[in-house]
Structure 1
Amino acid sequence: MFALYLTADLQGVTNLRPDDTQDNPFWYMFKVQCTSCRETHANHVGVNRFETNEMSGSRGEANFVWKCKNCKGEWLAEGVETGTKFTGIDLEEGEWFEYDEKSNEEVSINDVKWEVRRS
């Protein structure tokens, strides 16, 4: 969770805050950058505390869900025993399945969990 901290010199007024109701939500506008490829989104992205979105590969919801268009299929992996190179892996759905012809076995990536931490 992120919190907005605001400081200001107030004279003759108190309790400064956004006008933020469900009928008239306050939109916070952010410039976002992908944590994987460091690409900055061309436009500002709006978020309010009342709007929720489903998170891909999860049962949860969040106020802000964004998928970097530059990172789709940008993951790589290698077969443990064979060294087979797998490219263009798309983890958007939180899982990936493929077949390693050198080992004649299925290979997979699943139960992927994403977390953004404060740096």
Structure 2
Amino acid sequence: MVKLGIQVKCSLDNVTNLRPADPEDFGWCFTLKCPQCMEEHNKDVFISKSETCDIQGSRGTANFVMSCSFCKKHSSVDILENNAVYHLSDSEKFKTLMVADFRGIEPVAFKADGEWKCSSESSSKLFDIPDGAEMAKEGWYEYDEDAGCEVSVTEFETKIVKLK
């Protein structure tokens, strides 16, 4: 079992509780490669905790199953944890938001595609961030009318780390 964690680091200004909009149905977006033949999959893949597939030649299931288009090696990914939330106190520090078991496949990159949410630090207002990829690339900026202040998520970075 190769447990890998998806870590996020960003700067939060007047917001907290940054997270995927729907953790169970969120499609974690990866660029993958086969460690056997080193072939990189030609399309990004989305892996969701709510989806399960049968693993070929096994009685088990995983959240994502594929066969390398080049060497035909079978691989799977199973999301083990995906309920972490990035708080204001985590700002500018890496924090693991998702842990998965990668078998026979390597993630090359994680992309923050999809819908995200956060909440105001100064009021009860919730914010929807409809385009996580844009947030990661350009930052996300809004105004909290209830608290009378600007809110933002900037300097978004990700990394994939091996866990014990």
Q: TM-score normalized by structure 2?
A: 0.41
Hey, what does 2:13 align to over in structure 1? 11
Q: Between Structure 1 and Structure 2, whose CA radius of gyration is higher?
A: 1
Distance in 2 (CA, whole Å) between partners of 1:58 and 1:29 is 25
Q: Is 2:37 aligned against 1:37?
A: yes
Aligned partner of residue 14 in structure 1, secondary structure: strand
The answer for the alignment partner of 1:80 in structure 2 is none
Aligned to 2:51: 51
**Greater relative contact order structure (CA < 8 Å, 6+ sep):** 2
**Runs of 4+ displaced beyond 3 Å:** 115-118
Report the CA distance between 1:2 and its aligned residue.
Answer: 3.3
Query: Which residues in structure 2 correspond to 1:14-93 (within 5 Å)?
Result: 14-20=16-22, 22=24, 25-72=25-72
Aligned-pair distance for 1:3?
Answer: 2.9
| Structure with higher helix content | 2
Specify the SS of the correspondent of 1:16: strand
Deviations 1:54-80 (A, max 9, x none): 1111111111111012113xxxxxxxx
- Distance across 2 between alignment mates of 1:3 and 1:63: 16
CA RMSD, 1 decimal:
2.5
**What is the number of residues matched between the two proteins?**
77
Task: Measure, in 1, the Cα distance between the counterparts of 2:17 and 2:23.
Answer: 16
Spell out, residue by residue over 1:12-50, the C-alpha distance to the aligned partner (whole angstroms, 9 max, x if none). 11111111155xx21111111111111111111111111
Structure-2 separation of matches of 1:12 and 1:20: 22
Structure 2: which amino acid aligns with 1:9? Answer: S
* Aligned equivalents of 2:52, 2:66: Cα separation in 1: 12
Distance in 2 separating the partners of 1:65 and 1:11: 39
CA distance in structure 2 between the partners assigned to 1:41 and 1:67 by the alignment: 10
Identity of counterpart residues, as a percentage?
A: 37
Unaligned stretches of 5+ residues in structure 2: 75-102, 107-161
1:2/1:51 Cα in 2 relative to 1: closer, same or farther (>3 Å)?
A: farther
Q: Deviations over 1:75-100 (max 9, x none)?
A: xxxxxxxxxxxxxxxx86xxxxxxxx
Q: Which runs of 5+ in 1 are unaligned?
A: 73-90, 93-114
Query: How far did 1:4 drift?
Result: 2.0
**C-alpha distance in structure 2 between counterparts of 1:16 and 1:63, whole Å:** 23
* TM-score with structure 1 setting the length: 0.55
